Amino acid sequence: MLNFFRRVRRPLAVATVVLAAGSSAAWMAVGTARAPAPPAPGGEKDPDQTARIRRAGPDAVVVPPEVEASLGIKTAAASAPTRKRKLPAFQGTVNFDTNRLARVQTPLAGPVVELGTTPEPIPTALPGAAPVTAPRPLKVGDKVKQGDVLAVIWSKDLGEKKSEYVAALATLKTDAETYKRLEALYQEGGTAERSVRQAELAVKADRVAAEKAEATLRSWKVTPEELDALRREADRLSEPDAKRADPAKWARFEVKAPRDGEILEKNDLYVGQVVDPTADLFRIGDLSVMEVWVHLYAEDLPLLRNVPLPAPWVVTLPSRPGATFVGRMERVGAALDPNQHTALVTGTVENTGGELRAGMPVAVTVELPPPAGEVEVPAEAVVEDGRESAVFVRPDPAGSQFVRRAVTVKRRSRDVIAVAAEPGGVKPGDLVVTAGSLLLSDAVSDLPRPKP
């Protein structure tokens, strides 16, 4: 029995030595290292010359260079945000931009006597034949320029008003000359004052009539050039034995394109059709810029709370992967739809190539500018214990002190964490620990504070 205990006692002693050696190695991994020193008398090292991590304050530790190298501590500089942020994609639809649409109507009623035309090439089977074009009536999809004639209407009211205007101008010129002659005679005593006053009243009445007729013509979109031609006609008709020059053309009213664009709608116009001012003859739109409507759910509205408008956004087509169109978000609706519980977000998108069509489904991604009041640090620099987040900062790049600073996390990504730029926190340019921060956190928690 005694030999049995002797045989067992020797392996237990060896195991005890191994465990002690393992504990010592663990402590060295946490924060101690042996500095080379001359051997003490008797072949033993001096304990006072051992390099160790020590506390330097409530949230600071000093790590000797030998220990820092053994722990593999690394640092990187914190920086201000420079990258734009992308919000999750929103679903929307393309529509016509109402600010670039024009409804073409006529201010006058009457029959259509002509239709606007555009040249169209005529195909030929003859080799080498010169290209030939022929005019055809305008139709939906044709491009027009501002001022192009879309249709011609024969308006009796227009002809009568032009004749009234010319007559008023001619009468005004004649009565003005009569008034001047009577005024001169009155100064010489050759006529009564009553005749002069009557002539003056006639001139004023003629002027009012002419201005009234001119205002009506302007409201009917008669151009300044046409009014100048009518004034010249009035001067000519004021001469004795003068006759009107083709007054029948005065009843022609040209319906012209109010802007450049594409014909989106065309009424069933034909020669002889009687139109009235309440009907839309054409609808013209500039499709180089389209509008995008996004119905955003109420729970997604906080994502746009701090977005300065207008803000850039990128529009993509599900039917064309890889194709992108730039535009901008311009307005977030102030009310929610009572049925869908969504807010209407509207903006524009460039469509210079004409690839977008009204009604197309699109996905919209909003790009936000770099946020203010934030500092970005590598994701490895933030230490979290479930209660708060902290970062270890090296105040002096050449020093051995590391300071723990509490931070408030604003947003996260795979490689970068953005924290609030707060007093006493991290600021751009600070050196933050990216490797070994957990060991430094354990040291702050476990090591005793220095004695005052």
* Per-residue pLDDT, 243: 67
> In the predicted model, is pLDDT for residue 4 greater than 90?
no
- The confidence band for 411, taking pLDDT boundaries of 50, 70 and 90, is confident
CA-nearest of 195, 176, 204 to 187 is 195
**What percent of the chain is modeled with pLDDT above 70?**
87
Amino acid at 49: Q
> In the predicted model, is pLDDT for residue 369 greater than 80?
no
> Which domains are present in the chain?
2-52 (no CATH), 56-82+372-446 (2.40.420.20), 90-97+286-368 (2.40.30.170), 106-120+134-279 (no CATH)
- The confidence band for 244, taking pLDDT boundaries of 50, 70 and 90, is low
**What percent of the chain is modeled with pLDDT above 90?**
51
Q: How many CA atoms lie within 13 A of 232 on its CB side?
A: 7
Altogether, the residues listed in the chain come to a count of: 452
Burial of residue 97 (number of CB atoms within 10 Å: 0-12, 13-18, 19+)? buried
* Per-residue pLDDT, 359: 94
- What mean pLDDT comes out for the span 338-354? 92
* Per-residue pLDDT, 319: 86
* Per-residue pLDDT, 18: 32
Q: Tell me the per-residue pLDDT of 164-194, one tens digit each, with 9 for 90 and over.
A: 999 899 899 989 999 999 999 988 888 888 9
* Per-residue pLDDT, 208: 96
- CA separation for the pair 172, 155 (Å, rounded): 26
More confident residue, 16 or 30: 30
* Per-residue pLDDT, 378: 94
The backbone torsions φ and ψ at residue 99, rounded to the nearest 5 degrees and listed phi first, read -75, -10
Amino acid at 25: A
C-beta of residue 252 within 8 angstroms of C-beta of residue 113: yes
* Per-residue pLDDT, 10: 39
- What mean pLDDT comes out for the span 426-432? 93
- The confidence band for 358, taking pLDDT boundaries of 50, 70 and 90, is very high
- CA separation for the pair 308, 329 (Å, rounded): 10
- The confidence band for 8, taking pLDDT boundaries of 50, 70 and 90, is very low
The backbone torsions φ and ψ at residue 123, rounded to the nearest 5 degrees and listed phi first, read -70, 145
C-beta of residue 410 within 8 angstroms of C-beta of residue 374: yes
* Mean pLDDT for all residues in the chain: 84
Q: Which stretch, 372-376, 420-424, 428-432, has highest mean pLDDT? A: 428-432
The backbone torsions φ and ψ at residue 277, rounded to the nearest 5 degrees and listed phi first, read -65, -15
Burial of residue 236 (number of CB atoms within 10 Å: 0-12, 13-18, 19+)? middle
For the ranges 276-285, 343-352, 435-444, the lowest mean pLDDT is seen at 435-444
CA-nearest of 321, 340, 427 to 79 is 427
DSSP element (H, E) containing 363: strand 361-368
* Per-residue pLDDT, 364: 94
* Per-residue pLDDT, 50: 56
Amino acid at 435: A
> In the predicted model, is pLDDT for residue 301 greater than 70?
yes
For the ranges 49-53, 100-104, 117-121, 205-209, the lowest mean pLDDT is seen at 49-53
* Per-residue pLDDT, 178: 93
* Per-residue pLDDT, 164: 92
> In the predicted model, is pLDDT for residue 264 greater than 80?
yes
* Per-residue pLDDT, 389: 93
* Per-residue pLDDT, 103: 94
- The confidence band for 248, taking pLDDT boundaries of 50, 70 and 90, is low
- The confidence band for 33, taking pLDDT boundaries of 50, 70 and 90, is very low
> In the predicted model, is pLDDT for residue 113 greater than 90?
yes
Q: Which stretch, 80-94, 120-134, 271-285, 293-307, has highest mean pLDDT? A: 271-285
More confident residue, 446 or 125: 446
- What mean pLDDT comes out for the span 339-348? 92
> In the predicted model, is pLDDT for residue 206 greater than 70?
yes
Burial of residue 378 (number of CB atoms within 10 Å: 0-12, 13-18, 19+)? buried
**CA angle, residues 89, 90, 94, in degrees to nearest 5:** 120
- What mean pLDDT comes out for the span 34-48? 46
- What mean pLDDT comes out for the span 357-378? 89
Amino acid at 260: D
* Per-residue pLDDT, 29: 40
* Per-residue pLDDT, 6: 40
* Per-residue pLDDT, 343: 92
- CA separation for the pair 234, 166 (Å, rounded): 5
- CA separation for the pair 275, 426 (Å, rounded): 74
C-beta of residue 148 within 8 angstroms of C-beta of residue 102: no
> In the predicted model, is pLDDT for residue 15 greater than 80?
no
C-beta of residue 329 within 8 angstroms of C-beta of residue 376: no
Q: Encode burial over 59-92: b for 16+ CB neighbours within 10 A, e otherwise.
A: ebbbbbeebbebbebbbeebeebeeeeebeebeb
